[in-house]
Amino acid sequence: MNKVTLDSVLHRREGPLTSELLQRPGEFGLGALPEVAQADSTASSICGFCSTGCQLLLHLWEGEAKTLTPDRSYPVNTGMACPKGWEALAVLDSPERGTVPLLRKEGELRETDWSTAADTFCDRFKRIQEEHGAESVAFISTGQIATEEMAFLGAFAKFGMGVVHGDGNTRQCMATSVVAYKESFGFDAPPYTYADFEESDVIVLIGANLCIAHPILYQRILRNKRNPEVVVIDPRRTETAQVATRHVAVQPKGDLELLYALAFCIVREGRIDREFLQANTEGFEDFGVFVQGYSPEAVTERTGIAVEEIESLARMISEPGKRVSLWWTMGVNQSHEGVRTAQAIINLALLTGNVGKPGTGANSITGQCNAMGSRLFSNTTNLLGGHDFTNADHRRKVAEVLEIPEERIPDRPSLAYDQIIDGIEKGTIKGLWVIATNPAHSWIHQKRFRALREKLDFLVVQDMYHTTETAQTADLFLPAAGWGEKSGTLINSERRIGTIKQVRRSPGVALSDFRIVQVLADRWGCGPMFAKWSSPEAVFGLLKKLSKGQPCDISGINDYAMLDSAGGIQWPLPEGAFPHGPERRLFEEGKFFHANGRAKFIYDASRALPELPSEEFPLLLLTGRGSSAQWHTETRTKQSAVLRKLHSAELLLEIHPDDAAAAGIVEGAKVEVSSARGAIEAVAYLTASVQVGQVFLPMHAATVNQLTLEVVDPYSRQPAYKGCAVGVGLRQAACRGSGGGIWDR
């Protein structure tokens, strides 16, 4: 195997990089375009926005994708796409794309070359580690890049650089579900397939606004021919709640007590699947005793739900012979007690035997396009392949597969995202590498986070766009290729692995994240350790070996071609197995991943909101998706003129007319929304979709996280973005705290 060097990456087969090539669209994402990219041809690729995992057909002229259409034959989206999918190519052509490395000199980011950028990266981080210790450098990864890229990134950082602490932005969206599944099922294993939307008699959506956040999944509900009951449990009368058969308008963070009350009713009335419970679970009897403290009468005030409605809903979801599926997303995950809330959902499915059968399941819907890949293969808080850093046998297996010294593998997991941030504040972490995420926008209590920039000796940001709030403050910016400009795999919510294709050339000298890591590993001096990591598909072969024997075993997938021909493949698929049918669910035999094969009932007493309304801040702030045309911090979606037209250009605050009248606020008035952490400006939008005493802001706006409370779930360490106390008043002058502070220097 030839050694991969910086020069070999930056040289085309025709010769070295020249100034002429620098003026042309970059050709360095993954080298030459694949054979499929011929004039007037079509390539398939999984969409790079959300976790639904739709497949798009990319239509190429003269070797480059110019248009796209959704793939009618793919089992996920069957010819449908949301606005973001339709605009997936448009966001690549932005003038804000990073085209060359940028290095801060005399306070300004200035263009440099890859050789200087690689030298600076290695020299500065090595110097920090020499002065402050190996654990003084950390990285924050992402759920937005290909599986092979995040595996390479995590392996280089931890096995090559000697970094111990690296977490992902999946901590902000999926950590709660990961911990809940691990503790309850024995592995992070969403059990469902999207077909369950179409095969349920009762669909319960908890903190999930599918019409906006996952519109293609809502379309799957519309295809259900069983005339299902669709129940939405959410404080807001969301778009999904408005079209559901029942909206349960629970009070913010009253969901855990409501779920326990449902379990109380089911146990009291004996509407349990005792045969399933005895054969496949443990802890049921103790759980039955525990929920005696959560009768409908005991929780009605806290939840805001009448006793009769609780009892009626309990009967609906426990009716014998009915297929019941329970689904949740960020409304559950982003909570101070999210893990126990997710496990309360799992407990209901176990009580009624609604696991492992068509139209059933306790089903967490993922957020980012490759958050599932991050959960299994990013090498952050879990060792590659869903292994455990603290398990000596696991470390030995990984070392043998990768042919690296076992001592290069840390024997403990990383600090969580919030603990890395705390480490920066304490001065124990002095260097940070941020990849394909924008924490200066997205992290809770934004102003405190931005102020920490001054405490870092060296910040590297690797991204598609040089204009993100985080990239603008970097000491070194590394320009990355985007979706459509590189190859690899993504894993969607239902565990389906699909391929992405390179159908465009990256701009300037931007490189794929895979090639950036390859260049840095070579310059760091550990290139030989990664000699077999020569291409994304070569790494996929290593991931197959790493997964062997694990619940996520994919050793039976031959190659990318098999993934394409099969319409994607859900894990697990062990060696020698075949993907019978396009969709498969877990636990059909009632066997879970704990050593005894049983699922566990896990529960704790509910806890009050960490910040209650007060005289100064009398309202509770909810946050969530604002539009199906927006995505996260809008790093990409704001680059599309079409997507920008599909949502308000102003930041709209949803407020109940009664609350607005009490404050003298009329429709369209400019208001100041304040919390104990800051104040921002918004425009009042009067609507009964929020309850009295509550207001709502879209999560995508750059200023919203100046308000949010810095609280995390104690088990998952996922931030609780929802339910902080705010005040709203007519704007009299410039809002306090609207500036960016040190971070925006």
Tokens of 66: 């110019």
Interior CA angle at 293 toward 288 and 296, to 5°?
100
pLDDT band at residue 581 using 50, 70 and 90 as cut-offs: confident
| 203 conformational bin, left if phi > 0, alpha if psi -120 to 50, beta if neither | beta
Radius of gyration of the chain (CA): 25
Residue that has been written with the tokens 């997710």 in this structure? 342
Tokens of 71: 């793939």
* 350-397 residue pLDDT tens: 999 999 999 999 999 998 999 999 999 999 999 999 999 999 999 999
Q: Tell me the percentage of the chain whose pLDDT exceeds 90.
A: 85
User: Which runs of E-coded beta strand occur in 285-436?
Assistant: 324-328, 361-364, 431-435
- Neighbour tally for 339: CB within 10 Å: 28
pLDDT at 113: 97
Tokens of 706: 């100046």
Residue type at 258 in one-letter notation? L
Q: Tell me the percentage of the chain whose pLDDT exceeds 70.
A: 93
Cα dihedral 324, 239, 302, 297 in deg (nearest 10): -40
Q: What is the mean pLDDT of residues 195-206?
A: 98
Strand partners, 204: 231, 326
User: Looking at the predicted structure, is the pLDDT value of residue 18 above 50?
Assistant: no
**How much helix, strand and coil, in percent to the nearest 5, is found in the chain?**
35, 20, 45
CA–CA dist 119, 149 (Å, integer): 21
DSSP 111: E
Check residues 567 and 12 and name the one with the higher pLDDT: 567
Which of helix, strand or coil describes residue 634? Answer: coil
Cα torsion angle, 609, 610, 615, 618, sign: negative
Question: Is 547:386 a contact under the CB 8 Å cutoff?
Answer: yes
Domains of the chain by start residue, with CATH: 1-174+366-577+587-599 (3.40.50.740), 191-364 (3.40.228.10), 619-744 (2.40.40.20)
Phi, psi of 211 (to 5 degrees): -55, -30
CA–CA dist 350, 361 (Å, integer): 9
Phi, psi of 78 (to 5 degrees): 40, 50
Which of helix, strand or coil describes residue 131? Answer: helix
DSSP 556: T
pLDDT at 321: 94
Question: Is 253:237 a contact under the CB 8 Å cutoff?
Answer: no
CA–CA dist 349, 468 (Å, integer): 42
Residue that has been written with the tokens 């790493």 in this structure? 546
Q: What is the largest CA-CA distance in the chain?
A: 77
User: Looking at the predicted structure, is the pLDDT value of residue 232 above 70?
Assistant: yes
Residue type at 547 in one-letter notation? S
pLDDT at 582: 84
pLDDT at 660: 98
Tokens of 520: 């840095």
* 698-712 residue pLDDT tens: 998 889 999 999 999
* 554-572 residue pLDDT tens: 999 999 999 999 999 999 9
Which of helix, strand or coil describes residue 193? Answer: coil
Distances (CA, A) of 443 to 51, 257, 262, 400, 537: 20, 28, 34, 38, 33
Which of helix, strand or coil describes residue 224? Answer: coil
Question: Is 560:419 a contact under the CB 8 Å cutoff?
Answer: no
Q: What is the mean pLDDT of residues 305-315?
A: 98
pLDDT at 219: 96
Q: What is the mean pLDDT of residues 92-103?
A: 97
Q: Which helix (H) or strand (E) holds 497?
A: strand 496-500
pLDDT band at residue 29 using 50, 70 and 90 as cut-offs: very low
CA–CA dist 446, 489 (Å, integer): 32
Residue that has been written with the tokens 């990456």 in this structure? 9
What is the reported pTM?
0.92
User: What does the buried/exposed string (b/e) look like for 516-547 if buried means 16 or more CB atoms within 10 Å of the residue's CB?
Assistant: bbbbbbbbbebbebbeebebbeebbbbbbebb
CA–CA dist 208, 205 (Å, integer): 6
User: Looking at the predicted structure, is the pLDDT value of residue 400 above 90?
Assistant: yes
DSSP 135: G
H and E: helices and strands count for the chain: 27, 26
Q: Which helix (H) or strand (E) holds 737?
A: none
Residue that has been written with the tokens 């940001």 in this structure? 461
Q: What is the mean pLDDT of residues 510-516?
A: 98
Tokens of 301: 């005030």
Burial of 663 (0-12, 13-18, 19+ CB in 10 A): middle
Cα torsion angle, 475, 146, 181, 76, sign: positive
Question: Is 276:353 a contact under the CB 8 Å cutoff?
Answer: yes
With a CB cutoff of 8 Å and minimum separation 6, the contacts of 122 are: 520, 523, 524, 525
Which of helix, strand or coil describes residue 38? Answer: coil
At how many degrees (to 10) do helices 296-303 and 307-317 cross? 110
Can you give the three-state secondary structure of 410-449, one letter per residue?
A: CCCCCCCHHHHHHHHHHCCCCEEEEECCCHHHHCCCHHHH
User: Which runs of E-coded beta strand occur in 49-91?
Assistant: 55-61, 64-70
Question: Is 638:646 a contact under the CB 8 Å cutoff?
Answer: no
Nearest Cα neighbor of 462 from 449, 475, 453 is 475
Please give the distance of CA 492 from its chain centroid, rounded to a whole number: 10
State how beta strands 108-111 and 137-141 pair. unpaired
Tokens of 682: 């918004």
User: Looking at the predicted structure, is the pLDDT value of residue 139 above 60?
Assistant: yes
Question: Is 444:708 a contact under the CB 8 Å cutoff?
Answer: yes
Residue that has been written with the tokens 């946050």 in this structure? 623
Q: Write the DSSP assignment of 338-353 as a string of letters.
A: HHHHHHHHHHHHHHTT
Residue that has been written with the tokens 């308008």 in this structure? 249
Which of helix, strand or coil describes residue 143? Answer: coil
